[in-house]
Structure 1
């Protein structure tokens, strides 16, 4: 049942069925009482009960979709979440965030994934904030290099662009519009005090190794301040879910 006192959570999916892990993560949001909206260009066919599907073309037309040179949609996912937040969406979450406790309503929500980098897998920014203006402006101009790039990197990629080897964002390094850009802009706008501690969203720094350990449980990943656990879907891309140990943290999550 939706708790009207909780913020609406928005997610984005592109590229076929969600799969068991993403389904479990979206279920966790619904179970905690969040109104959960999944923005899609096509119905994935396996969205869990309680998740509302929204037409992603209301945020960005299908023609704007970018497939990175490595075949991933994650770079476009960064673009989509920034544009989504400009419409007034309260909180964006990646589909591989497993929620432990309800997410609070805060004007700023993002967290450290390491001592030096802020991740954008959970993101809330005021619609009129300068940082969101910078993010939205950046992704609307594929001819620009991300603001966090060093001068040496700008020169290197500028030379490639001059030779016709580089066109839009899809030819830039994979994480160009993700955590490095957000971290740079959080520093630029003096918002470091708004970043949640690593344990809040990114306690599972070991990724696949922890999630598949049959001697560990979800409880081992939860600290007193943990709100959600990032499952790092990229590290599990080749995983057969039939091989997940049922007593492992991921096994527990899939059984929820």
Structure 2
């Protein structure tokens, strides 16, 4: 049952069925008590009972969808989440975030995924804040020079653009306007004190190996501070369900 005292969480999904892993993740937020809204262009057909489907075209028209050169939608999902937050949505979550404890309502929510990088798989920013305005302004200009990258990378991108091989975000590394951009702007706007420690949202730093360890449990991956676990779907998307050990953390998650 939805707890009105908890903030709503919002996610984006593009394509066919969610599949068991994403279904389990969305169910985890419902189970904790979060109102859970999934923004879609087409009904995936397997959204968990209780998840609200919203028309993604109300945030960005279908024509704005960008497919990265690797064939994925992660880059567009970065654009979508910033635009979504600018409408007043409370918290954005990726569909591969598994909730273990309630997310509190707070104006700034993001966390370290490593010692040097802040991830945006869980994100909350105040409407009208300078950082959110910068994010929206950046994604509205796909030919903008990526000043959030190092000098060496900027020189390389400049050379590629000069010979016509870099025209927009879809030609850059797929995470270009995700964690690298967010980390840069968090530093620029002096918001580092708002970043949660790694164990709050990204305790599973070993990715696939840890999730499939039959000798580990979900409890082994979390600390007293952990609110959610990022399953890092990119490392798991080709994994047959039959290969998931039922006693592993991912096996636990899929069985819930």
Query: In angstroms, what is the RMSD of aligned CA positions?
Result: 0.8
* Count of residues in Structure 1 that have an aligned counterpart in Structure 2: 256
Quote the residue 1:204 is aligned against. 204
Q: Structure 2 matches for 1:73-92, cutoff 5 A? A: 73-92=73-92
TM-score of the superposition, structure 1-length normalised?
0.98
Q: Secondary structure at the match of 1:57?
A: helix
Q: Secondary structure at the match of 1:119?
A: strand
Separation in 2, partners of 1:187, 1:210: 31
Q: Secondary structure at the match of 1:111?
A: strand
> Residue 149 of structure 2 contacts residue 180 of structure 2 at CA under 8 Å; is this kept in 1?
no
Separation in 2, partners of 1:249, 1:92: 24
TM-score of the superposition, structure 2-length normalised?
0.98
Quote the residue 1:230 is aligned against. 230
**Residues 1:195 and 2:167 are matched in the alignment:** no
Deviations 1:180-221 (A, max 9, x none): 110110000000000001100000000000000101101101
Separation in 1, partners of 2:239, 2:44: 20
Separation in 2, partners of 1:61, 1:158: 30
Separation in 2, partners of 1:160, 1:207: 32
Residue 149 of structure 1 and its aligned partner are, at CA, apart by 1.9
Residue 146 of structure 1 and its aligned partner are, at CA, apart by 2.5
Separation in 2, partners of 1:63, 1:232: 28
Q: Secondary structure at the match of 1:182?
A: helix
> Residue 216 of structure 1 contacts residue 248 of structure 1 at CA under 8 Å; is this kept in 2?
yes
> Residue 138 of structure 1 contacts residue 146 of structure 1 at CA under 8 Å; is this kept in 2?
no
Quote the residue 2:123 is aligned against. 123
Residue 15 of structure 1 and its aligned partner are, at CA, apart by 1.7
